[in-house]
Amino acid sequence: MTFSMSGKPRGLVLCICFAACCAAIPLVACLASSPAYALSEIKREELPSPVQPSADDDMSPPGSAVPMPDPVGTPPSTSQPAAPNEAEPDSRPDGGVTRPRVDPDTPIPEVVYDLDKLPEPVRRMHNLIVEACKSGDIEKLRPLIGKGDSMTQLSLTDIDGDAIAFLKGLSGDQDGQEILAILEEVLDAGYVHLDAGTPEELYVWPYFFALPLDKLDAKQRVELFKIVTAGDFDDMKQFGAYIFYRVGITPAGQWTFFVAGD
């Protein structure tokens, strides 16, 4: 049997194509079986970070930023910042005699506990305030506080509205009994007689009002801790004076102030 050599090239090509098709079938099947991933399923850390422009890339010359013009119709401002001595005045009342009276250059005033040494009008007002406190009814302070120019000062700043309502607002309870307890405790301490023979003459409770706190002895510190906490005491030492509640009564028996603060 003989074969024609003229058919060899064509048969060889067919064999090669057939073999290539057989090899491609598994690859297509593999690709078809592989799951497709959406962009949202790619981990964020696998995405390339956006390139931020470097500050060195800014080729604009220094000082080339163009200032924005003022809005149309707005005249340029000619006002200058107020100098420290031209600032708005403090509208608070001076406080005067209500401020702590500690002067290291003057002798320490005598601390007095004997109420019988008080002038009768002062002793009477002291007793009336204490009786009102002991009653637990803050309304009983109203006639003692008074009204108008002679009204007892209850704050270092002006107060709005009713005086008794203001005192209740200072108290930790709605009936004002905590503030009554504080007032009674203050008046139970020793007192000092200040500015005798002058228009500013006053009897002030507690005596810490006029004593340097660093000069208090152990007994006096115990008396102070009846009114304030040890933490309050540390704060006051940094300030340099007693700044908790204090009471002032004039020789004529007028209840001048019941305030706290500096």
Number of domains within the chain: 1
Q: How confident is the model over 10-35, as pLDDT tens digits?
A: 444 444 445 544 554 544 444 444 44
Q: How confident is the model over 96-108, as pLDDT tens digits?
A: 678 777 776 778 8
Q: Quick check: 141 pLDDT over 90?
A: yes
Is 222 a member of any domain? yes
Q: Quick check: 137 pLDDT over 90?
A: yes
Is 144 a member of any domain? yes
Helix intervals (H) in the chain: 8-33, 120-135, 142-145, 163-170, 177-187, 218-224, 230-239
Instruction: Report the predicted TM-score, pTM, of the whole model to 2 decimal places.
Output: 0.63
Domain that holds residue 113: 107-259
Mean of the per-residue pLDDT values of the chain:
76
DSSP 15: H
- C-beta contacts of 114-119 below 8 A and 24+ residues apart: 118/191, 118/203, 119/251, 119/253
Angle at the Cα of 204 from the Cα atoms of 203 and 205, rounded to 5 degrees = 135
Is 97 a member of any domain? no
218 three-class SS: helix
**Token digits of residue 24:** 């491609």
Least Cα distance to 194 among 183, 180, 185, 205 occurs for: 205
Q: How confident is the model over 51-86, as pLDDT tens digits?
A: 444 444 445 444 444 444 444 444 444 444 344 333
**Token digits of residue 17:** 């194509």
Is 98 a member of any domain? no
Instruction: Determine contact, residues 204/194, Cβ cutoff 8 Å.
Output: yes
- Which residues share a beta bridge with 246? 259
Instruction: Determine contact, residues 223/140, Cβ cutoff 8 Å.
Output: no
Residues 187-191 have a mean pLDDT of 97
Looking at residue 98, its pLDDT comes to 85
Looking at residue 41, its pLDDT comes to 38
- Which residues share a beta bridge with 202? 194
Torsions phi, psi for 17 (to 5 deg): -65, -40
Which amino acid, 14? Answer: L
Residues 207-234 have a mean pLDDT of 95
Instruction: Determine contact, residues 154/179, Cβ cutoff 8 Å.
Output: no
Instruction: Determine contact, residues 191/197, Cβ cutoff 8 Å.
Output: no
Is 165 a member of any domain? yes
> How many Å apart are CA 98 and CA 213, to the nearest integer?
17
For strands 202-205 and 255-259, give the pairing: unpaired
Q: What share of the chain is helix, strand, coil (3-state, %, to 5)?
A: 45, 5, 50
Q: Quick check: 142 pLDDT over 70?
A: yes
Tell me which of 66-75, 173-182, 244-253 is least confident: 66-75
The position carrying tokens 């509640």 is: 245
Is 10 a member of any domain? no
Looking at residue 96, its pLDDT comes to 64
> How many Å apart are CA 174 and CA 167, to the nearest integer?
10
Looking at residue 45, its pLDDT comes to 38
Is 203 a member of any domain? yes
Distances in Å between the alpha carbon of 33 and those of 29, 40, 245? 6, 21, 86
Is 96 a member of any domain? no
